[in-house]
Structure 1
Amino acid sequence: MTDVIDPAPNPHASAEEVRAAYADPKLANVLYHDWEAGTYDEKWSISYDERCISYATDVFNAVAGEQGQPYPTAMELGSGTGFFLLNLMQGGVIKKGSVTDLSPGMVQVALRNAEKLGLDVDGRVADAERIPYDDNSFDLVVGHAVLHHIPDVQAAFREVLRVLKPGGRFVFAGEPTRIGDFYARKLGQLTWWLTTNVTKLPALREWRRPQEELDESSRAAALEAVVDLHTFDPSELERTALGAGAVDVKAVTDEFSAALVGWPVRTFEAAVPQEKLTVRWRLFAYHLWLRLSAVDKKLLSKVLPRELFYNVMITGTKPAAPTEL
């Protein structure tokens, strides 16, 4: 393919650009994620150690199984800072990877993370509806929390199938279900309101973040509402992938009790000064999430409809090439 120079990150968008972004979801995604790129891993407690390696590989195996590993080549669509792909590579699921994102800032950080980890990764700024790779390029395409940002999800699935080799697999995880997103947002809004108001009390002022930081977080949340375009019903998502031409499609959901507790915890952490979040607190929150996730997986997933869970994961394959007679 002809070499193309990717655009530079724009972490400090002008007021005019931000106003324009409210009418342009793709521009909003670029501005929001360029702005978030430098602090994204910290904000979402993303790491590249055993904790997140185990999470990424467990999520992948829960929907796709272990057959076919390690995949020789893989691309992450909407990679952000590389969380899913890089941890899957460290977990032995993938040998060589490519990161793509609409945000130049995210691609830059993902490549920097890969270099620090010594992983064989290249990257491109890419629109999910027009992926800049040739047909039949990859054995695997993955994504985490990306489909809900894409205006035309079925067009993205068609592009994913185009760049996959015949028989190649895709795995997308971390997508919000329709019902899960509703209760998660309500819990987050309530927690934010309670925390930012209670910490106005004189006895709790040391737990209050500076007002300018709270204002900045509120502006980010307003733009985040523009970049989050979809929530999904698991059955409808399966039909979307099938309609794009995928086969062997399957959606799986997880996190119910873990989401009911996890979203208030994450919102609380965003609303207080970071120095108040001790290692002891972070370990408590993480192990609580692990225990609740186990309850969801071993018990609640067997008795509750899959539509009630917060996360939906989906996998499918590109039809194999016809054999010659």
Structure 2
Amino acid sequence: MTASPTPDPAAPNPHASAEQVQAAYSDTKLAQVLYHDWEAATYDEKWSISYDERCNSYARGRFDAVVGGDAEVPYGRALELGCGTGFFLLNLMLTGVATTGSVTDLSPGMVEVALRNAEGLGLDVDGRVADAETIPYEDDSFDLVVGHAVLHHIPDVQKTLAEVLRVLRPGGRFVFAGEPTTIGDRYARLLGRTTWELTTRATKLPALASWRRPQAELDESSRAAALEAVVDIHTFDPEALERTALAAGAIDVRAATEELAAAFLGWPVRTFEAAVPAGKLGFGWARFAFGGWKKLSRLDEAVLSKVVPRKFFYNVMITGVKPPAPVSL
């Protein structure tokens, strides 16, 4: 089976002008489109996304961590909101979580890349350019709805979760992962800003000139990064996020958190990778970065999660279920 072509005629815009960026400061949904169209072509490389055992394991690990390892899979039809390049749903499908899928995103560029990735993997996936607050599918259409790092971009999270429950079949489940906690976002941004500043300053030195990206690329990165203040709307307290899901109408709601020590390595590493020329860092660096993150993640899970309140971790995940249909008498 192969992915169907993008049905929406909207064309991606990977190079927003300074005027478009300025306009986006007063229009958060325009900002979402511009920012994510800009990132679409390089997003997988930037975040070291792949569709092999490494990311299969990561995606399935997030799913199991919040749902529980004894979840009955596969689900039949799954939907990913804010799909990006398809990272979460496609990797989950590769591990047998769902048999068919649909992807949606406000960004035409992201939907285009996600469908191309699905086609290359031979997965049965269709896609639409769509707003998560008004999901363009009929009631009771899906067995599973997922998303990764998407809720914090959406203006009305409770409205979106109500829409998710509408398109789920009774008893269907949603799983959202990769959302920033309020405390975690503060230290992650500080780590990112500090790393970017130190790297871009150091690479101005003649001895490190080969490590400096072209100024035009740095300027474009800075313009796009400036939109983060517009596109990153929310951070979450785990308990408050649970209350939001319950208010939307979900049952069996549970939030879980992860990444504390791992975040203190991961954010500087990812920022450094984005600040230096593509291809400058070799396999040894990749092995160090991923290996170090895995070791610190194990420390987070085995030790820190037992003694540190969950609100101090960087990532929060949330799951819930659509109530069963009422029994007619």
1:302 aligned residue (299, 302, 306): 306
> Does the alignment pair 1:104 with 2:104?
no
CA distance in 2, matches of 1:200, 1:16: 28
Partner letter of residue 21 of structure 1?
A
> Does the alignment pair 1:83 with 2:87?
yes
> Does the alignment pair 1:146 with 2:164?
no
Q: CA deviation at 1:206?
A: 1.7
2:240 aligned residue (226, 233, 236): 236
2:76 aligned residue (60, 72, 86): 72
Partner of 2:328: 324
Partner letter of residue 308 of structure 2?
L
Q: CA deviation at 1:5?
A: 4.2
Q: CA deviation at 1:284?
A: 1.0
Change in CA separation of 1:249 and 1:189 when aligned onto 2, cut-off 3 Å: same
CA distance in 1, matches of 2:13, 2:281: 30
Aligned partner of residue 279 in structure 2, secondary structure: helix
Aligned partner of residue 119 in structure 1, secondary structure: coil
Q: Is the 8 A contact 1:30 1:103 kept in 2?
A: yes
Aligned partner of residue 22 in structure 2, secondary structure: helix
CA distance in 2, matches of 1:112, 1:255: 31
1:172 aligned residue (171, 176, 187): 176
> Does the alignment pair 1:289 with 2:293?
yes
Q: CA deviation at 1:202?
A: 2.1
CA distance in 2, matches of 1:105, 1:202: 37
CA distance in 1, matches of 2:177, 2:127: 20
CA distance in 2, matches of 1:210, 1:5: 34
Q: CA deviation at 1:14?
A: 3.8
Partner letter of residue 297 of structure 1?
E
Displaced runs of 4+ in structure 1, greater than 6 A? none
Aligned partner of residue 41 in structure 2, secondary structure: helix
Aligned partner of residue 266 in structure 1, secondary structure: helix
Partner of 1:115: 119
> Does the alignment pair 1:269 with 2:273?
yes
Change in CA separation of 1:220 and 1:5 when aligned onto 2, cut-off 3 Å: closer
Aligned partner of residue 301 in structure 1, secondary structure: helix
Change in CA separation of 1:17 and 1:205 when aligned onto 2, cut-off 3 Å: closer
Q: Is the 8 A contact 1:179 1:309 kept in 2?
A: yes
Partner of 2:205: 201
Q: Is the 8 A contact 1:6 1:125 kept in 2?
A: no
2:63 aligned residue (54, 60, 65): 60
TM-score (norm 1): 0.97
Partner letter of residue 268 of structure 2?
P
Residues 232-276 of structure 1, C-alpha deviations (whole Å, 9 max, x = no match): 000111111111111111000000000011101111111112232
Aligned partner of residue 274 in structure 1, secondary structure: coil
Q: CA deviation at 1:20?
A: 1.5
> Does the alignment pair 1:94 with 2:107?
no
Q: CA deviation at 1:216?
A: 1.4
CA distance in 1, matches of 2:96, 2:304: 30
Q: CA deviation at 1:6?
A: 4.4
Change in CA separation of 1:13 and 1:199 when aligned onto 2, cut-off 3 Å: closer
Partner of 2:21: 18
Q: Is the 8 A contact 1:250 1:314 kept in 2?
A: yes
Q: How many residues align?
A: 322
CA distance in 1, matches of 2:39, 2:143: 30
Partner letter of residue 151 of structure 2?
L
Q: Is the 8 A contact 2:8 2:129 kept in 1?
A: no
Q: Is the 8 A contact 1:174 1:311 kept in 2?
A: yes
Partner of 2:32: 29
2:253 aligned residue (239, 249, 252): 249
RMSD: 1.1
Partner of 2:4: none
Q: Is the 8 A contact 1:258 1:293 kept in 2?
A: yes
Q: Is the 8 A contact 1:101 1:125 kept in 2?
A: yes
Q: CA deviation at 1:12?
A: 3.0
Residues 39-86 of structure 1, C-alpha deviations (whole Å, 9 max, x = no match): 111111110111000000011000012322110110001000000000
Change in CA separation of 1:14 and 1:187 when aligned onto 2, cut-off 3 Å: closer
Aligned partner of residue 322 in structure 1, secondary structure: coil
CA distance in 1, matches of 2:181, 2:60: 21
Q: CA deviation at 1:214?
A: 1.3
